[in-house]
Every structure is written in C-alpha cells, then in structure tokens.
Amino acid sequence: MNQPEPFPVTTSANHPLLARLVAEIQHGQKFVVDVRNEDESFGLDGYQLSIWSVGSDKPISIFPWDSEINEELIDLKVRSKDLESETSRFAIRLRDELVATESRYGNGFFNRVLVDLVTESYLDKHPDIKDALGRAHSTQVERNSIYHECRDTIAYVIGKRSRELTRQLDYDETTMRRILSKAIARYIDNRFSLSERKQMGLL
C-alpha cells in the first residue's frame, strides 16, 4: 500500500490560494492583481504581486513575483488594478518568457535581434519604445538562418503576450497595444540598463 507523501509538492495549479480564487470566481467574485516594486529600484527585479477582491481596501495576499502563479491568474482572466501595474506585469512576463532564448543565442546577439525586430514593426512608433530604441545601442550581426530563428522566437513570444491581453484579459485592441508597447519599452530599458545609466549621467 502506497503511503501519501508527508510534504506533497505544491505547484501553481494546485496552490491553495488559486484554488480559493477559482471557487470564488465561480460564485461571481472578481479579483485584480497589483504588481509593484516598493523600493522603486531600477530594473524588473524585486517586484511583488498582490491579489485584491474588487471593492476591497486591502489585498488578500502579497508575495514576491511568481511567474507560474501569474500565468494561472492570466488564465483565470484576472486583470491588473491599473494600466501601470499591467505594464509592469507584462514587462516581467516578457523577461521571464525570453530568458531561455537569450541564453540560447547569447546576450549581445539577442539584443541586436530584439532591436531590429521592434524597430521594423509598428511598435517603434510608440513614444516610449522610440525613446528606448534611441538610447539602446547594439552591434550589427549577420542576418543568417540563426538570426531569423532567434527573431521568429522573439516575435512569437511578443505575439503570445498580445493574445493574452486580448483573449484572456479581454482588453480591446487599442488598450492591448498601449500596454504591450509600454511593456516592451520597459523590457528594453531593463535589458540595456537605460534608466540606471541615465541616472549615473552615462546617457
């Protein structure tokens, strides 16, 4: 007879908090999340994710950023409290989803492909992205099969985020583009340490 595990592994799918949210959502309760960096440091580290019942003046839970729980919350159609929080949420999501691609192709190569992709898309017309691209410098690379493979992967990840915003979170096209453009700008800022360098007088 198999004995139960004394300390069963808790994954995002069976996390007690998520199980509670699912049950309450099924009974009509609505929730939002807030993604903030309380110490106001640069970059995309140190963020906390808090979950709020709509109409409540305090969160039901606050914890360090957890990409798996965030993904489950997106699947549950739980939006952020405001567009600034949603921007941070999706900037971090881009970072999390592109870590493996960056590791596979290398930091410098990845940066160049990212800049090329964003520059050659409609996204570079957004003021925040245009500003970030104007300060993000990278070395030209050969546009060979490896280049296009990397570029297609980045494009797929960005496209998937746009579908999450419209299909799971039910934002209209205009709002989706606004959030995604700002998130990409934040992601580029983080990759090239633009805000830190500006603060230090290097830009």
Domain-by-domain residue ranges, the chain? 12-199
User: E-assigned strands of the chain?
Assistant: 31-36, 48-53, 61-64
Percent of the chain with pLDDT over 70: 85
Helix axis angle, 107-119 to 145-163, nearest 10°? 60
Dist CA 21 CA 187 (whole Å): 29
pLDDT reading at 131 higher than 90: no
The predicted model gives 103-116 an average pLDDT of: 96
Per-residue pLDDT tens digits for 25-37: 999 999 999 999 8
Farthest CA pair distance, the chain: 67
* CA 125 to chain centroid: 20
Write down the pLDDT at residue 9: 37
Write down the pLDDT at residue 201: 56
Dist CA 89 CA 194 (whole Å): 19
Please tell me the least confidently modeled range out of 17-26, 124-133, 166-175, 177-186: 124-133
pLDDT reading at 5 higher than 90: no
Structure confidence at residue 10 as a pLDDT band (50, 70, 90):
very low
Coil, strand or helix: which one is 170?
coil
Q: pTM of the prediction?
A: 0.87
Contacts for 99 with CB less than 8 Å, ≥ 6 apart: none
Per-residue pLDDT tens digits for 48-106: 999 999 999 999 999 999 999 999 999 999 999 999 999 999 999 999 999 999 999 99
Tokens describing residue 23: 């049950």
Write down the pLDDT at residue 105: 97
Both ends of the chain: CA-CA distance in Å?
A: 67
Judge whether 89 and 35 are in contact, CB under 8 Å: yes
